[in-house]
Amino acid sequence: MDGPDRFVSFDRVSKRYGAAVWAVRDLDLTVAKGEFVTFLGPSGSGKTTSLMMLAGFEQPTGGEIRLDGRSLRDVPPYRRDIGMVFQNYALFPHMTVAENIAFPLTVRRQPRAEVEAAVRRALDLVRLGGMAERRPAQLSGGQQQRVALARALVFNPPLVLMDEPLGALDRQLREQMQIEIKHLHERLGLTLIYVTHDQGEALTMSDRVAVFRDGGLQQLAPPLELYERPASSFVAQFVGDSNQFAGRVVRVDDGLCLVELDGGWRVTAAAAGGIAAGARTTLSIRPERVIVSDAGDPPENAGPAVVEELIYHGDHVRAHLATPTGQALFAKVLSGTGHGWLRAGAPVRIGWQARDCRALDPLPDHAGQEQ
């Protein structure tokens, strides 16, 4: 069963604190060699605990973590050969940049000349050639981040972990570093596990994203699938923007289902697994997939609505809409296309294609009877 597809595997891994607090519960997950997988989730969802168990700083209460076919159960962190970048960089303030980067090589007692050459290569890799003799305190946040990266890569670890590495940087620098990390991953063929709570970061960087919630895995899928076909209403809500409506499934038919929204509006939607006739459901539709028109009906799921508010976002306009059946939703309309009719208070027709809308498990506030 151990192949390149199962380079890292979590097998029913649990971590419990005390008698009843489960940080991670029955986690099953595999990462292939060379893959970039992001652990995404809100704080307390178990993503960092999972990473710490993989790095060896937390012991699983149950289950088995394997790296390249080898169980990590009794392997101390310093023998796992896993490069790690910490949230606050964890640079050693009393060492220079070069000494920091040389650290993993000097603890491995590599010859001095080799260490120096490797440090120089690592510095060039992260474009910090002239900074070797500085101390971490003399560097900017982005530069410190690069040193931490170089230090985690210099000993050619087969697996690199990053724990919210860009959290402390401003937006512009963060986007720049995202691209750099992605390029490093491609150039060096690294296997990389990246923890973040920023869904945009997860979507732009990863090969696959693992969405965590309450210590469990909600969905593990490539970004496109995660965004287009969320497996649960939590994922739909957490990844990207979405409109969510409560309703009841009337019938299911070949991947599509007819849903009666609370208030009586009947719409068709793509049915996620486990959707059965008669059950409560939450419908999820991305705001950019909501079609708004002034006269002609959209091809599917057409209905009336009133524009409540317009918010200008530069590249698009966000239209907050209300339907007579009580749904509140918003739509993203590309700006600059001359929608003179789109103004607050105007009656419009809305709709969406059935495949753009998914019927998912009901959110907690959607589970009850319609009012």
Partner 1 sequence: MAAGTVRAPAGRSRFRLRLGAWLLILPLFLFAAGTFVIPIGLMLVRSVQDPDFAAAFPRTAVALAAWDGRDLPPDATARTFLAELQAARGGDRISPAATRLNADLAGFRSLLLRTARNARAVGEDGLGTLAAIDARWAEPGLWAAMRRAAGPLTDYFLLAAIDLQRTDDGSIAAMPETRAVFVDVFIRTLWIGFVVTAFCLVLGYPVAYLIANAPARWANLLLVVVLIPFWTSVLVRTTAWVVLLQRDGLVNGLLRWSGIVEQPLALIYNRTGVLVAMVHVLLPLMILPLYSVMKGIGPSPMRAAMSLGARPLEAFARVYLPQTRAGIAAGALLVYISAIGYYVTPELVGGGGDQMISYFIAFYTNRTLNWGLAAALSLILLLATGLLYLAYARIEVRPEAGK
| Cα gap 159→7, rounded to integer Å | 9
User: What is the nearest approach in angstroms of partner 1 to the Cβ of residue 165?
Assistant: 12
Cβ-proximal residues to 5 (8 Å cutoff; 6+ apart), any chain = 30, 32, 33
Angle between helices 97-106 and 112-125 (to 10 degrees): 130
* Whether 283 contacts 359, CB under 8 Å: yes
Closer Cβ to partner 1, 57 or 341, answer by number: 57
User: What is the nearest approach in angstroms of partner 1 to the Cβ of residue 108?
Assistant: 6
Report the relative pairing of strands 280-285 and 243-253 from DSSP bridges: antiparallel
User: What is the nearest approach in angstroms of partner 1 to the Cβ of residue 57?
Assistant: 5
The contact set with partner 1 (CB under 8 A) reads 55-57, 76-84, 86-88, 90-94, 103-104, 107-108, 134-135, 137-138, 151-152, 155
User: What is the nearest approach in angstroms of partner 1 to the Cβ of residue 46?
Assistant: 19
Closer Cβ to partner 1, 78 or 341, answer by number: 78
User: What is the nearest approach in angstroms of partner 1 to the Cβ of residue 279?
Assistant: 45
Closer Cβ to partner 1, 55 or 357, answer by number: 55
Closer Cβ to partner 1, 5 or 114, answer by number: 114
User: What is the nearest approach in angstroms of partner 1 to the Cβ of residue 126?
Assistant: 16
Closer Cβ to partner 1, 110 or 204, answer by number: 110
Closer Cβ to partner 1, 88 or 176, answer by number: 88
Per this entry, what is the length of the chain? 371
User: What is the nearest approach in angstroms of partner 1 to the Cβ of residue 116?
Assistant: 17
User: What is the nearest approach in angstroms of partner 1 to the Cβ of residue 90?
Assistant: 4
Amino acid type, 227: Y
* Whether 199 contacts 45, CB under 8 Å: no
Closer Cβ to partner 1, 47 or 151, answer by number: 151
Closer Cβ to partner 1, 71 or 88, answer by number: 88
* Whether 288 contacts 281, CB under 8 Å: no
